[in-house]
C-alpha cells in the first residue's frame, strides 16, 4: 500500500470536500422573462410594427434555446392593451362626435400568433394576466368611455386564448395545472440537475388563490420555486424598493390582496420560494425613455433571501433608428436570468433583439436608472443549494 504524505493527504481531503459541495456538473442555464407586451399587440398603435416586434422576441427565444440553454420563459402580464372586446376612440383631427370603433380580438390574435412561435418549440413557459387582460377592463374614464371604472373580473377571453385547454398548454408534460379560468397556473422544468416549480399567479391574488398555490407547493416538496405575478414592485426611484400597494381600485370590494399581504400570508412562509418576478409599473415616457426596473431582497421566515425583481419596458419607444417614438412601447427589451452552477451566481441581464443591444453595460443608464438594475449578479440562495 502506498503511503501518503501529510501534504498529499490534505490535498485529497480538500478535493473530496470540494466535490461534495460542488454541483453534480458545471452548467449554465437560462430563464427568460417577457415584460408587458401590451403595446406590441395594441390595435391603435402602429401595426404591424408592434406585432412584428412581439414575434421577433419569440423567435429570438426559440433561436437562442441551445446557445443560452434556455429552460423556461415567463410572461409577466398585460399581454394585450384593451381586454374589453370593443371600445371607441376619438378620431384625431375629426369632428367632436367622430369616433372609431375598435375590436380587441385583433389584439388577442396578434398576441396569440406571437406566443404560438414559442409554443411550437420545446421551451416550457408560463403566463400571468395583467390588469389589461381581464374581461371587463375599462382603459379610460370620461363621457365617451364604456362606463365608470369597475373592479377587474373575468378571464373568459384569457381562458380561450391562453387557458389550460389552449393549444399552448394542453397536453404539455411540463404544464402542471391551472385555477380560476387559467388566470393562475403552474409549471415544472429542469435546470442544472434540479427540477424547478414555477407559479403563475394573477395580480393581487385572493386567499383562495393562495390556498391553491400552497397546495401546489405542498404537492411538490423539495423543488425551488419561482413566482411570477403582474404587480409587485414600484420602479426604483431615488433608490426606493417599495412594493406596489396603492391600487385597491383594481379589485374594489373584493378579497384580492395587495403585494405586502401576499408577502406576509404566502411568500415569506414558504422557504422554497427564492424569486418573485413582476411587471406593471413604469414611469411616463420622457424622450423615448421610461423607468421600469427594481430589485428588492427580503428574508423569509426561514431566514433565506427572496429576490424580487421588476422589469417593465412598455414606456421605452426608442427604435432601431435611435429616435423616440420609432418603436412601439417596449422596444423589444427582454430580461434574461442566467444560473451558473459552478460559480453559484445568478446573472440578470437585459437585451433587445429589435435593437441588437444590451442594457446597463459599461455603466450605461439605459432606462434612466443606475446600470445595476439592468445588469446585475446575485448569489445562489440557500433554496438552490439544498
CA distance 64 to 29: 12
Q: How many residues does the chain have?
A: 386
Would you kindly state where each structural domain of the chain is located, as residue ranges? 27-384
Q: Helices (H) and strands (E) in the chain — how many of each?
A: 7, 16
Single out the residue of 340, 361, 339 nearest to residue 352, CA to CA: 361
- Give the pLDDT score at 239: 81
Residue 123 backbone class (left: φ over 0; alpha: ψ -120 to 50; beta: rest): beta
Claim: this prediction has a pTM higher than 0.85 = yes
Q: Is the dihedral of CA 222, 224, 228, 229 positive or negative?
A: positive
Q: How far apart are CA 101 and CA 337, in angstroms?
A: 41
Which CATH number applies to 27-384: 3.60.21.10, 3.60.15.10, 3.40.190.170, 3.30.200.20?
3.60.21.10
End-to-end C-alpha distance for the chain, whole angstroms: 38
Mean pLDDT per block of 10 residues along the chain (386 residues) reads: 46 41 70 98 95 98 98 98 71 65 85 98 98 78 57 91 97 98 98 97 97 98 98 91 87 93 98 98 96 98 98 98 98 98 97 98 94 98 92
CA distance 313 to 148: 28
Position 86 scores a pLDDT of: 62
Phi-psi region of 354 (alpha: psi -120 to 50; beta: other; left: phi over 0): alpha
Amino acid at each position: 500500500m502506498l503511503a501518503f504524505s501529510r501534504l498529499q493527504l490534505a490535498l485529497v481531503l480538500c478535493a473530496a470536500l470540494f466535490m461534495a459541495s460542488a454541483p453534480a456538473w458545471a452548467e449554465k442555464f437560462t430563464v427568460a422573462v417577457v415584460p408587458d407586451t401590451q403595446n406590441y399587440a395594441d390595435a391603435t398603435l402602429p401595426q404591424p410594427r408592434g406585432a412584428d416586434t412581439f414575434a421577433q422576441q419569440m423567435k429570438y427565444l426559440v433561436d437562442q434555446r441551445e446557445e443560452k440553454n434556455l429552460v423556461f420563459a415567463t410572461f409577466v402580464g398585460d399581454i394585450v392593451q384593451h381586454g374589453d372586446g370593443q371600445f371607441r376612440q376619438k378620431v384625431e383631427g375629426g369632428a367632436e362626435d367622430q369616433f372609431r370603433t375598435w375590436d380587441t380580438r385583433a389584439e388577442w390574435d396578434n398576441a396569440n400568433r406571437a406566443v404560438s412561435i414559442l409554443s411550437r418549440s420545446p421551451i416550457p413557459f408560463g403566463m400571468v394576466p395583467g390588469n389589461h387582460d381581464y374581461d371587463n377592463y375599462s382603459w379610460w374614464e370620461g363621457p365617451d368611455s364604456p362606463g365608470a371604472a369597475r373592479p377587474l373580473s373575468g378571464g373568459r377571453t384569457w381562458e380561450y386564448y391562453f387557458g389550460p385547454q389552449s393549444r399552448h398548454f394542453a397536453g404539455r408534460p411540463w404544464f402542471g395545472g391551472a385555477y380560476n379560468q387559467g388566470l393562475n397556473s403552474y409549471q415544472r422544468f429542469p435546470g442544472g440537475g434540479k427540477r424547478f416549480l414555477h407559479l403563475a399567479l394573477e395580480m393581487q391574488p385572493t386567499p383562495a388563490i393562495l390556498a391553491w398555490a400552497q397546495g401546489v407547493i405542498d404537492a411538490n416538496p423539495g423543488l425551488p420555486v419561482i413566482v411570477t405575478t403582474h404587480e409587485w414592485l414600484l420602479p426604483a426611484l431615488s433608490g426606493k424598493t417599495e412594493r406596489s400597494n396603492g391600487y385597491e381600485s383594481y379589485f374594489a370590494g373584493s378579497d384580492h390582496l395587495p403585494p405586502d399581504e401576499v408577502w406576509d400570508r404566502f411568500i415569506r412562509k414558504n422557504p422554497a420560494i427564492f424569486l418573485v418576478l413582476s411587471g406593471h409599473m413604469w414611469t411616463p415616457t420622457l424622450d423615448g425613455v421610461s423607468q421600469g426596473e427594481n430589485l428588492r431582497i427580503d428574508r423569509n421566515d426561514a431566514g433565506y433571501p427572496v429576490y424580487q425583481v421588476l422589469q417593465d419596458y412598455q414606456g421605452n419607444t426608442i427604435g432601431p433608428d435611435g429616435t423616440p417614438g420609432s418603436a412601439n412601447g417596449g422596444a423589444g427589451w427582454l430580461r434574461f436570468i442566467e444560473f451558473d452552477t459552478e460559480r453559484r451566481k445568478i446573472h440578470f441581464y437585459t437585451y433587445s433583439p429589435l435593437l441588437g443591444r444590451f442594457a446597463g453595460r459599461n455603466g450605461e443608464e439605459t432606462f434612466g436608472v443606475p446600470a445595476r438594475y439592468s445588469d446585475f449578479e446575485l448569489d445562489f440562495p440557500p433554496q438552490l443549494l439544498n
